[in-house]
Amino acid sequence: MSALLNVLIALVFVAAAWHGARGGRRGAAVFWGLLAALFAFGDLLPPALIGACVVLLALMAATPALGRRAGTPAADAAVPPATPAAPARDVPGDPRALRPVVAIPLLTLVFVLVVRMVNRNGALALDNQVLTLAALALASCLALLYGVRSLRADPAQAVASGGALLDAIGWAAVLPLALAVLGSLFAAAHVGDLVASLVTRGIPIDSRLACVVAYGFAMLAMTAIMGNAFAAFPVVMGGIGLPLLVGRHGADPAVIGAIGMLTGYCGTLLTPMAANFNLVPVALLELRDEWAVIRAQAPTGLMLWVANVALMMALGFR
């Protein structure tokens, strides 16, 4: 199942490699070709070799070999021109173009609901994330078939245009993977415990407010460093939440746990380490400023952080 998904993803990588090669950018062709091989055959290779390839990919990303920086608008014939500035009355487009795109969320929705209905008694131990991802993958494939039929397009050409899009996104597409790996290395080196011990130094532990603020700040900071609230939660809850808030001040662990995790999510809105949420869309939307998405959502994250601290003070100690 996951092997099939990896091969399908590898096909789009091959299309991106082809797009790079046709554009005369050999570096991009090698970059995407190597990724395609790692996705399709990764399970057969020794992990150390894959690790060496990851280092190689990172080195290539830092050289001009890829041809263009991610985030700069792709000036490329194969990529359709960006939306014209004026409302496009003169370029109406094919009305059927909307349908396959809308079909992706609708089909995903249908698949998830059908599997959940069939599996109501829980016969299959299905993780919701696995189910959602599989449904999205299946929906994408069916939507592609539908789009190719209804728009009378060449399927190879469709995959090629997907590759062109990926090539325009560039190395930013791989960043989420590298960050997940970094998170596991941080965990192995107990970076979280160190940050928690730094934060707990010098807070007046008899003050309830000081402890809640320290807990909320540590969640925010750790999540921003790791790019992921899941990695921050056990460290901060174990280092500050349980001993100080629950143990010393008698807080409700359910309230502190749930709102604490969401306080970490405020940090996710602020950090380039959460690349798939904050940097990949910059490339996808061809924005000029690498920090544009973080800038747009940061005020929401900071205001919500204050709201979360207030909620923990109001609801956590009943």
Site for other proteins in 32-91 (CB under 8 A): 38-39, 42-43, 45-55, 57-59, 61-62, 80, 82-89, 91
Of 104, 115, 213, 313, the one binding other proteins by CB under 8 A: 104
Whether the CB-CB separation of 242 and 236 falls below 8 Å is answered with no
| Binding to other proteins, residues 201-220 (CB under 8 A) | none
Nearer to other proteins, 205 or 276 (CB): 276
Angstrom CA distances, 311 to 18, 49, 260, 263, stand at 53, 49, 10, 10
Tell me the residue type at 204: P
Residues whose CB is less than 8 angstroms from the CB of residue 17 and which lie 6 or more positions away in sequence, other chains included: 28, 29, 30, 31, 32, 33, 36, 163
Q: How many residues sit close enough to other proteins to count as binding (CB under 8 A)?
A: 153
Q: Is 191 in the site for other proteins (CB under 8 A)?
A: yes
Nearer to other proteins, 118 or 303 (CB): 303
First to last CA, the chain: 48
Q: Distance between CA 199 and CA 240 in Å, rounded?
A: 9
Of 65, 203, 258, 313, the one binding other proteins by CB under 8 A: 258
CB of 162 to other proteins, least distance (A): 3
Nearer to other proteins, 76 or 203 (CB): 76
| Binding to other proteins, residues 281-310 (CB under 8 A) | 281-282, 284-285, 287-290, 292-293, 295-297, 299-300, 303-304, 307-308
H-only helix segments in 23-154 = 26-41, 47-62, 98-118, 128-150
Q: Is 311 in the site for other proteins (CB under 8 A)?
A: yes
Q: Is 118 in the site for other proteins (CB under 8 A)?
A: no
Helix (H, G, I), strand (E, B) or coil at 305: helix
CB of 186 to other proteins, least distance (A): 6
Nearer to other proteins, 207 or 230 (CB): 230
Nearer to other proteins, 106 or 207 (CB): 106
Q: Is 31 in the site for other proteins (CB under 8 A)?
A: no
Q: Is 232 in the site for other proteins (CB under 8 A)?
A: no
Q: Is 121 in the site for other proteins (CB under 8 A)?
A: no
Helix (H, G, I), strand (E, B) or coil at 256: helix
Q: Is 123 in the site for other proteins (CB under 8 A)?
A: no
Of 20, 33, 67, 147, the one binding other proteins by CB under 8 A: 147
Q: Distance between CA 103 and CA 124 in Å, rounded?
A: 27
CB of 45 to other proteins, least distance (A): 8
Nearer to other proteins, 82 or 118 (CB): 82
Tell me the residue type at 69: R
- Measured from the Cβ of residue 146, the count of other Cβ atoms closer than 10 Å reads 15
Of 21, 115, 182, 203, the one binding other proteins by CB under 8 A: 182
Nearer to other proteins, 48 or 207 (CB): 48
Q: Distance between CA 169 and CA 73 in Å, rounded?
A: 9
Nearest to 76 by CA among 155, 174, 170, 172: 170
Segment interacting with other proteins (CB under 8 A) among 20-28, 142-150, 199-207, 209-217: 142-150
Whether the CB-CB separation of 146 and 100 falls below 8 Å is answered with yes
H helices, E strands: number in the chain = 14, 0
Of 123, 188, 201, 204, the one binding other proteins by CB under 8 A: 188
CB of 93 to other proteins, least distance (A): 2
Whether the CB-CB separation of 272 and 175 falls below 8 Å is answered with no
